[in-house]
Amino acid sequence: MTHRDIASALGTSSLFCRLDEQGRNALAARCTLHAYRHGQPVFLQGDPGDDLFLVLSGAVKLFVSSPDGEEVLIAVCRPVEAFGEIAVIDGGTRSAGAEAVEDSKLIVLSRGVLAESFRDEPAVAEALLWALVSTLRRITDRTTDLVFLDLASRLAKLLLALADAQALGQSDTGPLHVDLGLTQSDLAHMVGGSRQAINRILAGYERRGIITRDGKRLILTRSDELRRRART
């Protein structure tokens, strides 16, 4: 992996796409590249927040743990999504944990590198601000869903969001695909339900021809019905 490859990845991310070629190349020269195996922690909740991460390949889940070991899954980051920005900005500890759910390669930017980028490239600071706004909107949307949508509707909305994030299907009329690097327990944590309830809902969707299960892949054969249930 060359600096040019890293610069190209930075250019396709929402955080750094506004940098010109010279700026991307300069930043890429100061990045590091780390590989993580499936199931390997990237950082733990409460760790110092010294770095920002950008997914180059694979997928990473972000989650919050309770003292008794219960988890709430916040998000799954895929190429070229960034995470870890909150602790990097405020200098605090990690508010969530991160774990690779597939073999993954991550671009790592230290707080020092980002601080210099803020001075040299105001577009980076602006992009981080929008990233924080996006995080706030996601939290607000999830809270609203928990209040106003039932579990089946929340799951339908999540499946559509995962399909859109993976960009494996672009047409509203054709089937969308979701390659799950997640267990049913993970899905349950993301929508505030139990694994057993998620299994029942998926089985019901399958019986009605709304989805088809192919190993860890879900084919959303009737995405229009899922959108109706998700009220989107």
pLDDT in tens, 48-107: 988 999 999 999 999 888 787 777 888 888 888 899 988 888 888 998 999 998 899 999
Q: Side-chain half-sphere of 59: how many Cα atoms within 13 Å?
A: 13
Q: What is the pLDDT of residue 181?
A: 67
Instruction: Tell me which of 150 and 214 has the higher pLDDT.
Output: 150
Q: How many CB atoms lie within 10 A of CB 133?
A: 10
CB within 8 Å of 77: residues ≥ 6 apart: 55, 59, 60, 61, 62, 83
> According to CATH, where is 1.10.10.10 located in the chain?
150-230
Percent of the chain's residues with pLDDT above 70: 95
Q: Are 113 and 74 contacting, i.e. CB atoms less than 8 angstroms apart?
A: no
The Cα–Cα gap between 75 and 85 comes to: 14
Where in the chain is CATH 2.60.120.10?
3-146
Instruction: Give the model's confidence band at 36: pLDDT under 50 very low, under 70 low, under 90 confident, else very high.
Output: very high
* SS3 at position 180: coil
Instruction: Please choose, from the candidates 138, 215, 142, 225, the residue with its C-alpha nearest in 3D space to the C-alpha of residue 176.
Output: 225
Q: Which residue is listed with tokens 């927040």? A: 49
Query: Exposure string (b/e) for 59-93, b if CB count within 10 Å is 16 or more?
Result: bbbbbeeeeeeebebbbbbbbbbbbbbbbbbeeee
pTM passes above 0.85: no
At residue 19, the pLDDT reads 80
Rounded Cα distance between 152 and 198, Å, is: 8
How far apart CA 190 and CA 75 sit, in angstroms, is: 8
- CATH code matching the domain that covers 150-230, chosen among 3.40.50.150, 1.10.286.10, 1.20.1250.20, 1.10.10.10: 1.10.10.10
Cα(24)–Cα(89) distance, rounded to whole angstroms?
Answer: 20
Residue at 32: amino acid letter: T
Domain 3-146 has CATH 2.60.120.10: yes
